[in-house]
Amino acid sequence: RKEVEQDPGPFNVPEGATVAFNCTYSNSASQSFFWYRQDCRKEPKLLMSVYSSGNEDGRFTAQLNRASQYISLLIRDSKLSDSATYLCVVTLNTGGFKTIFGAGTRLFVKA
Amino acid sequence: DAMVIQNPRYQVTQFGKPVTLSCSQTLNHNVMYWYQQKSSQAPKLLFHYYDKDFNNEADTPDNFQSRRPNTSFCFLDIRSPGLGDAAMYLCATSGTRQLANEKLFFGSGTQLSVL
């Protein structure tokens, strides 16, 4: 089983739609959680951290469910510029923290 | 201004011909990482340096080596590239590996093609 699993998509949505991605992680000792965004042939960039209490940044809302070991990302009012791959990321303490990436979920927002 | 710089952006090499990818950083970060990312896959950690301390991942092939001559620079050497080594190679840095919420700073990557 992969350490971080995501639905690869692609998700094809019209502009203005709300879309949600889920991610599951296998190691209950995972410490921190993030969503990164990656554009085609570019490097990943941090979108937001994910906290147990849930957090929001503009149109983006992230949730963490430690009991069920999943993380979610909700994007409201989708823009064309939101088209990208969204990577779910966790950190593990292996005597120094190690960052584990999911393979990503592809999103296409259409006009 | 770019803080983690990778050169070149695109690299073409021949099967079996050694190739070196470079990464430099202006952040004075202690930790430098090399990730390999193939199409539609997760970035896979190859190894990292914590200062001068080299940490290899258990499943990283011996064909991949790394050097960190000083804080600012780190190199990825592929001794005998195979067709399966064609990928995006991402360099990243972090200030420390002792914090769970430490952010990674990525370079723009080097896309390696093997002919």
Query: pLDDT tens digits, residue range B22-79?
Result: 999 999 999 999 999 999 899 999 999 999 999 999 999 999 999 999 999 999 999 9
Q: What is the pLDDT of residue B72?
A: 95
Q: Could you tell me which residues come within 8 angstroms of residue A89 by beta carbon, excluding any fewer than 6 positions away? A: A4, A33, A34, A35, A36, A99, A100, A101, A102
- Geometric angle at alpha carbon B98, from B48 and B37, rounded to 5°: 35
- Geometric angle at alpha carbon B41, from B37 and B44, rounded to 5°: 45
Confidence grade of residue B100 (pLDDT, cut at 50, 70, 90) = low
* 3-state secondary structure at position B84: helix
| Cβ contact, residue pair A97, B42, below 8 Å | no
- Average pLDDT estimate for B90-94: 94
User: For residue B95, is pLDDT > 90?
Assistant: no
Q: What is the pLDDT of residue B98?
A: 67
CB proximity A26 to B under 8 Å: no
Q: What is the pLDDT of residue A54?
A: 86
Taking contacts as CB-CB distances below 8 angstroms, the residues of chain B near A44 are 43, 90, 104, 106
Taking contacts as CB-CB distances below 8 angstroms, the residues of chain B near A97 are 97-100, 102
| Cβ contact, residue pair B109, A43, below 8 Å | yes
Q: What is the pLDDT of residue B66?
A: 97
CB proximity A20 to B under 8 Å: no
Taking contacts as CB-CB distances below 8 angstroms, the residues of chain A near B54 are none
Distance separating the N- and C-terminal Cα atoms of chain A: 37
Residue B109 token pair = 């990557």
Residue with tokens 């965004």: A37
* 3-state secondary structure at position A80: helix
| Cβ contact, residue pair B42, A103, below 8 Å | yes
- Residue B52, strand partner residues: none
CB proximity B106 to A under 8 Å: yes
Cα dist. A73→A65, B35, B100 in Å?
12, 24, 20
Residues in chain A, pLDDT under 70: none
